[in-house]
Structure 1
Amino acid sequence: MNKELLMAGLALADTDEGLITRFYEILFERHPAVRPMFSADVRPQAAMLRVAVIAVLDHLDDPAWLTSTLGALGAKHATYGATPEMFDAVAECLVAAMAERGGAAWTPEMTAAWSEALGVVAGLMLAGYPAPQPV
């Protein structure tokens, strides 16, 4: 993953800390079925997600941290009822919000870098999901 490109994209898209709020707006517009999983006021969730995104970027060179932290976060999301398909929706909407907020300065390379990074994050989170129990 290209940390410098990821950081540049985040800096471009999150100039006023409104990126994550816009992400939730897009997520709920495109995937209304997920809206009931969130409280009416998403600001606390948005703040946590913003911190998590920055923490992941800060630890890109620490695979052990990424594996343990994101695996635990995945296990927690499993208890909320998040499905693997929802991770694709989150990635799609976060990249869309970043591209929108980045405007003309946002590049296809930034889209590719963020799509790749979010795919890795999703994979590590899904690795923390409990194994299905035999019936």
Structure 2
Amino acid sequence: MNKDLLHHSLTLVDLPDDGLTARFYDILFDRYPQVKPMFSRNTRQQASMLRSAIVSVVDHLDDADWLATTLGTLGARHAGMGVTEPMYGAVAECMVAAMTEIGGDQWTPEMSEEWTAALGAVASMMLAGYPAGETGAA
């Protein structure tokens, strides 16, 4: 992964008041309304936690142990909430869509590709934390 590109592109779209992650949830619920019941009505706190997680992952891209441990633990929590493997693809799609929208003319296809790959890697590490046989794959 290109840490510099991920960091730079995140600075382009990391809006005040968790604007990126709030927009992400708008897109997610519009494209995948079936996941909305998994969340509280007010996603403000969730948006804040998601923003913090994204920043932490980018900050720790050089620390494989931290990533594996932290994301595995996070994955185990998500398994307990009913998050299934296909949902990770939807999350990546909607996050890149939010980033592309917010980034506007400064956002490049290379940034989208890098974020798609990074979010796929995050999903893999989170799924590694799921109890055996509980990824909810189709």
Query: What TM-score comes out, normalization by structure 1 length?
Result: 0.96
In 1: Cα distance, 2:13 partner to 2:116 partner: 15
Gaps of 5+ in 2: none
Pairwise CA RMSD of aligned residues?
1.0
In 2: Cα distance, 1:92 partner to 1:2 partner: 19
**1:38 correspondence with 2:36:** no
In 2: Cα distance, 1:73 partner to 1:28 partner: 22
RCO comparison, higher one (Cα < 8 Å, 6+): 1
In 2: Cα distance, 1:46 partner to 1:111 partner: 20
In 2: Cα distance, 1:11 partner to 1:62 partner: 21
**Corresponding residue of 2:65:** 64
Gaps of 5+ in 1: none
**Corresponding residue of 1:131:** 132
In the TM superposition, 1:1-135 aligns within 5 A as: 1-16=1-16, 17-132=18-133
Which aligned runs of 4 or more in structure 1 are off by greater than 2 angstroms? none
How many residues of Structure 1 are paired with residues of Structure 2 in the alignment?
133
Q: Alpha-carbon deviation of 1:15?
A: 3.2
Query: What TM-score comes out, normalization by structure 2 length?
Result: 0.94
Q: Alpha-carbon deviation of 1:103?
A: 0.2
